[in-house]
């Protein structure tokens, strides 16, 4: 782990779309699941900004790191300490074939 300070967490377009779809889906079960998911994601963003390498490397591609949120959702991200930035690529349910979805182009 280098000494670079993370100053920015960027959510890429595919991940923004994932967030929207997840929240729409969870809203079918009431406000509590949606709120719990949102709070879990916000906590992740705070934690990863302060300790970018605290989550495990993705076993199928070590360029990505993977964090587990509530309800079996996974966040895939990369750390660029040189740029002081974390890029969130996808937020997917663990039951999906993450490899197929992770490598889609923006």
CA 21 to chain centre: 14
Q: Is 101 helix (H, G, I), strand (E, B) or coil?
A: helix
Please name the fold of domain 8-96.
YaeB-like fold (3.30.2310)
User: How far is 31 from 84, CA to CA, in rounded Å?
Assistant: 35
Please indicate, yes or no, whether the overall pTM of this predicted structure exceeds 0.75: yes
User: How far is 58 from 60, CA to CA, in rounded Å?
Assistant: 6
Position 81 scores a pLDDT of: 84
Q: pLDDT tens digits, residue range 77-101?
A: 999 888 899 999 999 999 887 776 6
The arithmetic mean of pLDDT across residues 7-36, rounded, is: 95
User: How far is 31 from 13, CA to CA, in rounded Å?
Assistant: 25
């Amino acid at each position: 782990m280098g000494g670079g300070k993370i100053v920015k967490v960027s959510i890429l377009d595919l991940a923004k779309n994932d967030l929207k779809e997840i929240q729409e889906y969870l809203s079918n079960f009431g406000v509590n699941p949606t709120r719990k998911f949102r709070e879990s994601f916000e906590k992740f963003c705070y934690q990863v900004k302060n300790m970018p390498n605290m989550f495990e490397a993705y076993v199928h591609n070590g360029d990505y790191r993977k964090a587990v949120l509530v309800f079996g959702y996974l966040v895939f991200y990369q750390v660029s300490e040189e740029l002081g930035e974390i890029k969130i690529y996808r937020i997917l349910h663990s039951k999906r074939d993450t490899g197929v979805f992770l490598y889609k182009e923006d």
